[in-house]
Amino acid sequence: MATSRLTVEAGQPPLRRRGAVLERAILDAALDQLNTVGFNGLTMEGVAAGAQTGKAAVYRRWPSKEDLVADALRAALPSLAHAPDLGSVREDLFELCRTLREAMYSRPGTALRSVLHECDQAEAERFHELITEGVMRPTEERIKEVVRRGIKRGEVRPGADHTFVYEVIPAMMMYRAKVCGSEWADPDFEQMVDRVMLPLLLAPAP
Task: Return the pLDDT at 123.
Answer: 76
> Does 55 reside within a domain?
yes
* 206/200 Cα distance (integer angstroms): 17
| Same domain, residue pair 84 and 60 | no
Is residue 1 very low, low, confident or very high in pLDDT (cuts 50, 70, 90)? Answer: very low
Structural domain of 128: 78-201
Exposure of 38 in the CB half-sphere (CA atoms within 13 A): 8
DSSP assignment letter at 158: G
Tens of pLDDT, residues 50-102: 999 999 999 999 999 999 999 999 999 888 888 999 999 999 999 999 999 99
DSSP assignment letter at 156: B
Helices (H), 14-155: 19-36, 38-41, 44-50, 55-61, 65-76, 89-104, 107-118, 121-126, 128-131, 137-153
Q: Which residues pair with 156 in a beta bridge?
A: 202
The closest alpha carbon to 44, from 31, 55, 60, 28, belongs to 55
| Same domain, residue pair 104 and 189 | yes
> Does 12 reside within a domain?
no
| Domain of residue 130, CATH code | 1.10.357.10
Q: Which amino acid is at 190?
A: E
| The model's pTM | 0.79
The closest alpha carbon to 149, from 196, 206, 93, belongs to 93
| Candidate from 15-24, 43-52, 185-194 with smallest mean pLDDT | 15-24
> Does 13 reside within a domain?
no
| Same domain, residue pair 136 and 195 | yes
Q: Is 2 left (phi over 0), alpha (psi -120 to 50) or beta?
A: beta
Task: Return the pLDDT at 38.
Answer: 94
| Same domain, residue pair 41 and 110 | no
| Same domain, residue pair 123 and 179 | yes
Domains contained in the chain, number? 2
Task: Return the pLDDT at 149.
Answer: 96
| Domain of residue 59, CATH code | 1.10.10.60
| Same domain, residue pair 178 and 135 | yes
| Same domain, residue pair 63 and 103 | no
